[in-house]
């Protein structure tokens, strides 16, 4: 069974204070690792897909990296509008289409 564990559960940052969110995963074979952003009361919004160890993707203040066992979402100089829950998810290579999500990290950025 695929497993995704995210830490911390919640993170409170001052505006401009950079930090990282962690996602550790267990799959039989990784087809893709995904990061989503979710605002309260809304569905998740896709951010990145990472396919292999060493890969990095960037979007504005966010940068996602991938190793064989975990992924990090680095947030550089965050702004209050970055406040959201960030979800990590994996798709294994077993021929199925089930994407398994972690429980998320709730990020609050204070002005």
Partner 1 sequence: DTGVSQNPRHKITKRGQNVTFRCDPISEHNRLYWYRQTLGQGPEFLTYFQNEAQLEKSRLLSDRFSAERPKGSFSTLEIQRTEQGDSAMYLCASSLAIGNTGELFFGEGSRLTVL
Asked if the peptide bond before residue 8 counts as cis, ω within 30 degrees of 0, the response is yes
User: Which residues in 58-97 contact partner 1 (CB under 8 A)?
Assistant: 87, 89, 91, 96-97
Give the separation between CA 24 and CA 1, rounded to whole angstroms.
14
Q: Which is nearer to partner 1, 40 or 54 (CB)?
A: 40
Judged by CB under 8 A, which of 65, 66, 92, 104 binds partner 1? 104
Written as six digits, the tokens of 59 are 């979007």
Judged by CB under 8 A, which of 19, 24, 32, 83 binds partner 1? 32
Q: How far is the CB of 108 from partner 1 (least distance, A)?
A: 15
Give the separation between CA 49 and CA 27, rounded to whole angstroms.
16
Residue with tokens 């830490």: 7
Residues contributing to the site for partner 1 (CB under 8 A) = 4, 31-32, 34, 41-46, 49, 87, 89, 91, 96-104
């Amino acid at each position: 069974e695929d497993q995704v564990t995210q830490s911390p559960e919640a993170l409170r940052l001052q505006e401009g204070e950079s930090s990282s969110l962690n996602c550790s995963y267990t799959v039989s074979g990784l087809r893709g690792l995904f990061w989503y952003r979710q605002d309260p009361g809304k569905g998740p919004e896709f951010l990145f897909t990472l396919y292999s160890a060493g890969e990095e993707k960037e979007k504005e203040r966010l940068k996602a990296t991938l190793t064989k066992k975990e992924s990090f979402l680095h947030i550089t100089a965050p702004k209050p509008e970055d406040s959201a829950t960030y979800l990590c998810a994996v798709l294994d290579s077993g021929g199925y289409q089930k994407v398994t999500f972690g429980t998320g990290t709730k990020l609050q950025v204070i002005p």
